[in-house]
Amino acid sequence: MSQPFALERQLGLSAARRACALTSSVFNKLVKNETLTKGDKSPVTVGDYAAQALISSMLKNAFPADPIVGEEDAADLRAEEGKVLRDRIVELANEALVAPLVEGDKPEWGIGPGQAKSAAELLDAIDRGNYDGGRTGRMWTIDPIDGTKGFLRGEQYAVCIALLVDAQVQLGIIGCPNLPVDPAQPDGERGCLFVAVLGQGCHQIPLSGTSSTPLHMPTPAPSDLTTLESVEAAHSSHSTTDTISSILGITRPPIRMDSQAKYGCLARGEGGIYLRMPTGVGYREKIWDHAPGSLLVSEAGGRVTDSRGTELDFGLGRTLGENFGVVAAGREVHGRVLAAVQEATAQAKAKV
């Protein structure tokens, strides 16, 4: 008998591989007018839209009844002014859909030669990500390009896919086209997939092949600890991380990296602590920014909570509700980190 969620894992990996190829090729050809600014002032590119259209189309073919919570929606593309962008997105999504099948791909997922879709079908595929989320049933959450700012800088970004059942993450997949396969060789081969299934562990697979390496978070010596945090100070308070690091006696500078690549790196033993400290504006974290990453870390032997030590709740809709920030670390380190976070918060309050 096959393992639970074997087909979902296979499809998710295929979709992530295709989306990684799509986004890498977009980066090399991206022109200035292919990026929009969304209502919340954040950027979105033709790559984000085309990758969501691709992943959502494949999910629909394989699991037609499953709803999707996706970051992007097609409203801006349906408007007359969106025509140039729309045509480009259709071209990109179709290039990815008709790419030849590789081992593990199934033609019934709507991929392979001759599988191109119309503009209307692809816009509908993007909008299938409009599901509100919730506590019960199966649902997917996708972030077609997580770390769009990193993507635009040519730095780290991630294609992120997760399956939730009754608000529990069962499957998490992250594709990181720009991430070195071997952290010890930062100038070596780039392009990694991370995959975790609840109870089945966490694995890394190179984008160039199919060999799967199990990941286990090591117990780092205190002197080896480094924090991982966002590049963007608006997403995570860098000064709070500095205070927490000094309380913990960490002297190394933080590793700043965009996207859920941070969770993948943590799972394979880099840094030891991922801190996402709220900036005080009441921002609500999105489920697609944490669902796959949190499973990678917990399956590799780590623990993930919000900045106050509360478990992440994926059952509240599209956001994580009252979960603010993230603290992720090895199980034996996490408690110490949380205590330092609380001390840093108390210090900040005393200063006001």
Question: Catalytic: which of 48, 73, 105, 127?
Answer: 48
Tokens linked to 272: 């030891």
CA dihedral of residues 223, 229, 231, 232 (deg, nearest 10): -140
Candidates 12-20, 62-70, 227-235, 308-316 — which segment interacts with ligand A3P by CB under 6 A?
227-235
Contact 172, 291 (CB under 8 A): yes
Question: From the list 3, 7, 29, 42, which residue makes contact with ligand A3P (rule: CB under 6 A)?
Answer: 42
Does 145 belong to an annotated binding site? yes
By CB under 6 A, how many residues form the interface with ligand A3P? 17
Question: How many whole angstroms from its chain centre is CA 267?
Answer: 14
Strands laid side by side in the 226-229 sheet: 255-256, 226-229, 272-276, 326-330, 302-305
Does position 285 bind Mg ion by CB under 5 A? no
| Nearer CB in complex with ligand A3P: 142/171 | 142
Question: From CA 216, how far away is CA 206, in angstroms rounded?
Answer: 17
Please state the closest distance from residue 234 (CB atom) to ligand A3P, in A. Answer: 5
Residue 227 bears catalytic tag: no
Candidates 26-34, 125-133, 176-184, 283-291 — which segment interacts with ligand A3P by CB under 6 A?
283-291
Q: Which does 235 bind (CB under 5 to 8 A by kind): ligand A3P, Mg ion, none?
A: ligand A3P
In the DSSP assignment, the letter for residue 108 is: G
Question: From the list 72, 105, 258, 270, which residue makes contact with ligand A3P (rule: CB under 6 A)?
Answer: 258
Name which of 321, 320, 338 is nearest 329 in CA terms: 338
User: Please, which of residues 110-149 interact with ligand A3P by CB under 6 A?
Assistant: 143, 146-148
Q: Which residues contact 248 (CB under 8 A, 6 or more apart)?
A: 222, 225, 273, 336, 337, 340
Residue 105 bears catalytic tag: no
Question: From CA 201, how far away is CA 292, in angstroms rounded?
Answer: 13
Question: From the list 127, 270, 289, 299, which residue makes contact with Mg ion (rule: CB under 5 A)?
Answer: 289
Phi then psi dihedrals of residue 205, to 5 deg:
-130, 130
Question: From the list 8, 71, 105, 285, which residue makes contact with Mg ion (rule: CB under 5 A)?
Answer: 71
**x-marked contacts with Mg ion along 130-169 as a string, rule CB under 5 A:** -------------x-xx-x---------------------
Question: Catalytic: which of 23, 45, 141, 148?
Answer: 148
In the DSSP assignment, the letter for residue 285 is: P
Packed helices 238-248 and 331-351: angle between N→C axes, nearest 10 degrees: 120
Does 289 belong to an annotated binding site? yes
Tell how strand 43-45 and strand 302-305 pair up.
unpaired
Question: From the list 105, 289, 299, 306, which residue makes contact with ligand A3P (rule: CB under 6 A)?
Answer: 289
- Residue 64: Cβ-neighbour burial (10 angstroms; 0-12, 13-18, 19+): exposed
| Annotated binding-site ranges for Mg(2+) | 71, 143, 145-146, 289
Which residues contact Mg ion (rule: CB under 5 A)? 42, 71, 143, 145-146, 148, 289
| Annotated binding-site ranges | 71, 143, 145-146, 289
Which residues contact ligand A3P (rule: CB under 6 A)? 42, 71, 143, 146-148, 150, 230, 232, 234-235, 258-259, 279, 283, 286, 289
Catalytic site positions:
48, 148
